[in-house]
Amino acid sequence: MRTQPLFLAFPFLGAGHADVVGTRRVPSLKPRLSAPGNGSAFFLCAVTAIAACWLMSGRTRAESAEPVPKYTLRYRFQPGETIRWKVSHRNRVRTTGAGVTQTAESTSESVKVWQVSEVTRDGAATFVYSVEQVQMRQLLSGREEQRFDSESDAEPPVGFQQVASAVGRPLSTVTLSDRGTVLKRERELPTGPTENEGDITIPLPEEPVAVGERWSRPHEVQVRTDGGGVQTIRTRQTFTLDSVRHGVAFIRVRTAVLTPVRDPAIEAQLTQCAAKGEVRFDIDAGRVLRQQMETDKRVVGFRGEATSLHYQTRFAEELLPNTVRTARAK
């Protein structure tokens, strides 16, 4: 039986160009560029042209692509202006131990006021912080509900006297940088409620940021140990620019505990460090329009194996419209 030569069709090879393997003939893959009209030369030219077009199209796309926008976030104030926010704070703590469950609930609605007296060239503002009005409610298991409204109640109930005495009075004088760092704080009313001794507003990034970029600020929290000592816990708040719409930056906030904590008694003291939420920041006006933070944390065994704690809180703040006035506008 005669063996027939085996030819494989390769259109880019010259006709009749083949190598022999045993009794079977297979086309050679060696290009013959010197032969006029050779198909391999046409193939290489076509590949080169396609590659050149691809590179040129990629360059065109890169050159025509718009740069990613970045936003400079800064607080902006004017001397003589008064800024008001409506602040809502709700807490609910449910504890269980020895077969008994107790619940403590509290709510407060207040108007926070910043009266700006001075703004330096670098944007740092000095203002007097006060609370213009407040409504409070407190309910404990097995006890009668307590309420107080600074607008209508002449005498506050037991437990609300300190808050009532501070309404309408300067609480502290604060100097704040344009990135939200407290540069100086003087307490005007030592016995009254004040802003947190740490940050009083969210910190802003030092450099311009694009959507999706993050910045963070570390914190240290002091907690009590079972032996009566004090332990320092490291935490970190992370801020992410989620989006920018109509000049408003939407900033996502998350809080994380960095120090390993294995003691439920200490974990129960860190429930507020689990807050997360969103801040809406007016880029042109340079102030917080609205923010909301929430915490929902459970701890088991904080006072023994049969104990548990469920901590829920919601904090909201909203800029009041038509309340920003400057001294020149009066």
pLDDT in tens, 70-126: 999 999 999 999 999 999 999 999 999 988 999 999 999 999 999 999 999 999 999
Q: What CA–CA distance (Å, rounded) separates 166 from 110?
A: 12
- Smallest CA-to-CA distance from 133 within 106, 161, 110, 113 is with 110
284 falls in which pLDDT band (50, 70, 90)?
very high
Write down the pLDDT at residue 326: 42
Domains of the chain: 1-55 (no CATH), 82-319 (2.30.230)
> Does pLDDT of 32 surpass 50?
no
Q: What is the pLDDT of residues 265-274, one digit of tens each?
A: 999 999 988 8
d(CA 131, CA 133): 6
Closest CA to 273 of 233, 300, 216: 233
Q: Regarding predicted confidence, which is higher, 157 or 43?
A: 157
Of the two residues 187 and 281, the one the predictor is more confident about is 281
290-293 contacts, C-beta under 8 A, 24 or more apart? 290/316, 290/317, 290/318, 290/319, 291/202, 291/315, 291/316, 291/317, 292/316, 292/317, 293/253
pLDDT for position 191 = 55
pLDDT at 18 over 50: no
Q: According to the model, what pLDDT value does residue 45 have?
A: 54
Instruction: Please give the pLDDT value at position 226.
Output: 86
pLDDT at 156 over 60: yes
